[in-house]
Amino acid sequence: MTQQQVIANWGNYPQLSAEVDELGLLPDVQNYLQQQSPLTLRGNGRSYGDASLGKQVFSTLKLNKFLDLNTESGILTCQGGVLLSEILDVILPQGLFLPVTPGTKFITVGGAIASDVHGKNHHKEGSFSRHVLSFDLMLADGTILTCSRQENQELFWLTMGGMGLTGLILSATFLLKKIETAYIRQTCIKARNLAEIMDLFESSTDWTYSVAWIDCLATGEKQGRSLLLLGEHATLEDVSPNQKANPLEIPQKRKLNIPFYFPRFALNGLTVKAFNTLYYNKQWAKESQSLISYDPFFYPLDSIYNWNRIYGKPGFVQYQFVLPKETSKDGLSEILTTISQSGQGSFLAVLKLFGKGEPEAWLSFPMEGYTLALDFKVQPKVFELLEQLDRLVLKYGGRLYLTKDARMKKEALQNYPHLEQFKQSLPPGFTSHLAERLELTINNKQ
Amino acid sequence: MTHTLILGAKSDIAQAIAYQFARHGHSLTLAAREVDLLDPLAKDITIQHQQPVHLREFDGLDFASHGEFYENLPEKPTVVVCVFGYLGDQKQAEGDFAETQRIINSNYTGAVSIINLVAQDLEQRQNGTIIGISSVAGDRGRQSNYIYGSAKAAFSTYLSGLRNRLVKSGVHVITVKPGYVATRMTANMDLPQPITASPQQVATAIYNAYRSKTNILYTLWMWRWILLIIRSIPEGIFKKLNL
């Protein structure tokens, strides 16, 4: 179904006019790919910037079929347009869970691979690619190749974190993890400053899940004050007798919606600062324990539909970088100082300690060290600030996450050591606004 | 467990119907040309709704094969949904009888050929529902699609008579007139949004009609009134309209 429309990703910035097509039957898809080139592939549009935007867009949302689920071995095969939320609906009642999940469940499996997404368990269990056994990739000429660590290895690794530029992920096979309950045993610890939160992260690496909410506007001795959330899948022994009766079932909660775009003045330095202080102080005790359902633990913002609208019509950009562990302390401190001085604070920012990255996936984002993700409302002066931050990130040996990006210059990619090889190896036929901005698809121009 | 047979299962409407019935506990046989293409759909329904799904090759235009097709079904259905049809090209059909014949056979003759067999079986078993997807285009002939429309008119008349015949055997017949639906078949048409249904809306309406034993279903309520008006325009005026 062809439709000319204005599309944007989750940050609502940029917004571009595109022709979007959606097909579900294999021969139709094959025909279409052979006719359209270069083509941009798009899942559920939950990347933040311009990664899945382009003039000619193929939406994978009709490639939404489950193909095989082995509950014994915990291996799932499904088409590339299936959403993680749909997977959870099917696997959770069977005592299975996603091996890795980002902070929203409304992304497609194809998107999870193309962005090589990470979650709160990265330090222990790596990014999504680590759990993928194989996938079927359709190239621009309609050829279908099965890719795995043993077969078509080069394409397998190019596609992991490859931003959808190698081909269309028709289906993927990956490992799920077994769980006893749908609950998470959570511990929340308050940290007064950056040094304390970093110590806490480094002494909590045994926990499967860890993440911190950090107040980016706090300065001086309070710089880096944060709440560290640690979690483990609750076992049957951890839950109450009531919950034990139906351990894999969670009572449905009503969802909130942001029905309209907030006006420009709604978020300003004062309201954000007040919110952050309230959030930090919502817990008095140094440490607290609780048992919560998996949904608010993994997807706190998914329960508010269209939360991106609080940033108003012009949208927002998300900024996520990672610094090597050795330079993290100095780097984070300088970056946080720069942000608080600019007064363009983000709501809450998310801090996490990554484990080792995937060196063979050349454009995969994670590497060992600290990653910080924060939102900025789109306004004229924000771009200048972000370029200033880019320079700091590069200075400390860090890099930016393409899936969040809408504005960086190609020079900011220099700490992806295999960038040139990636560009040279990319099969032709696919593109995106992001790829053109960063000149990734040089093979299309020949 | 109720077994439902969907004829012409590849269309967007048919796929939505398959999910709707599976969600409500029906096992399925999906029948279509190149039915292998529906393999992902069958697996998906089985995994998501724990319902067995069979695939059977079926060609509505190959009348001679219908007997054997019905005979060899893995399970005899209690609900049969006849979705297949062909919009065709009115302009081409005006000067090309082969196209005209294809439109008539896809929308009428083929449907009658297979439903005749279904009707005999259900009548004998004294139980079941036959759901035929006809069209509002059959309610009055218009210059823009009267060949398709007349075939659908014939199909609606057939279903009406069949309903009359089978009521005493406890078999119910539903005539569905979907109006505009946003599907692959209509992808290149500029349809007015407020009176265009999604395949899912059509499927939900059909399932509800099945449960409540509706006779004639307009899937969006507006269409009943639109057609009432269209039907009541005197022919003398109607023939001059550009419809």
Task: Report ipTM (2 d.p.).
Answer: 0.86
Q: What is the pLDDT of residues A200-223, one digit of tens each?
A: 999 999 999 999 999 888 889 999
Confidence of residue A347 (pLDDT cuts 50, 70, 90): low
Same domain, A289 and A335: yes
**What does the pLDDT average to over B36-41?**
97
One domain for residues A232 and A102: no
Predicted local confidence at residue A255, as pLDDT:
66
Which range has the worst mean pLDDT, A110-119, A230-239, A281-290, A425-434? Answer: A281-290
- Low-confidence winner among A255-269, A313-327, A425-439 (lowest mean pLDDT): A255-269
The two beta strands, A226-233 and A183-191, are antiparallel
Tokens standing for residue A257: 């919606």
Of B83, B163, B106, B176, residue with least CA distance to B135: B176
Domain encompassing residue B77:
3-238
* Enclosing domain of residue A147: 66-179
Residue A407 included in any domain: yes
pLDDT at B218 over 80: yes
Asked if B130 and B116 count as a contact pair (C-beta separation under 8 A), the reply is no
Rounded-to-integer distance, Cα A128 and Cα A292, Å: 24
Residue A2 scores a pLDDT above 90: no
- State the nearest Cα–Cα gap between B14 and chain A, in angstroms: 14
User: What are φ and ψ of residue A117, in 5° steps?
Assistant: -65, 155
CATH at residue A324? 3.40.462.10
With 80 as the cut, is the pLDDT of residue B146 above it? yes
Separation between Cα atoms, residue A166 and residue A154, nearest integer Å: 11
- Domain assignment of residue B243, yes or no: no
Most confident of A18-32, A263-277, A295-309: A18-32
Among partner residues B37, B182, B184, which is closest to A26 by beta-carbon distance? B37
- Together in a domain, A228 and A349: yes
pLDDT the model gives residue A195: 96
Kindly report the average pLDDT of chain A as a whole number.
92
> pLDDT class for A1, splitting at 50, 70, 90?
low
Tell me, what CATH number does B138's domain have? 3.40.50.720
Say how many domains are in chain B.
Answer: 1
pLDDT of B220 reads 84
**Which among B37, B44, B182 has the least Cβ separation from residue A25?**
B37
- On whether any CB of chain B is under 8 Å from the CB of A144, the answer is no
Of A321 and B185, the structure prediction assigns the larger pLDDT to: A321
Helix axes A382-395, A325-342, angle to 10 degrees: 160
Do A288 and A242 share a structural domain?
A: yes
Any domain includes A8: no
- Average pLDDT score over chain B: 94
Give chain B's radius of gyration (CA, Å). 18
Q: Quick check: helix, strand or coil at residue A348? A: coil
Q: What is the mean pLDDT of residues B24-45?
A: 97
Which whole number is the average pLDDT over A279-291?
80
Same-domain check for residues A377 and A327: yes
One domain for residues A321 and A365: yes
A-B CB pairs within 8 A amount to 28
**A2–chain B nearest CA distance, Å:** 7
pLDDT at A47 over 60: yes
Same domain, A254 and A214: yes
Question: CB B43 to CB A68 under 8 A?
Answer: yes
Among the listed residues A49, A168, A32, A48, the one whose alpha carbon sits nearest the alpha carbon of residue A109: A168
Q: Are A399 and A393 in contact (CB under 8 A)?
A: yes
| Tally of domains within chain A | 2
d(CA A298, CA A101): 8
The predicted model gives A3-16 an average pLDDT of 90
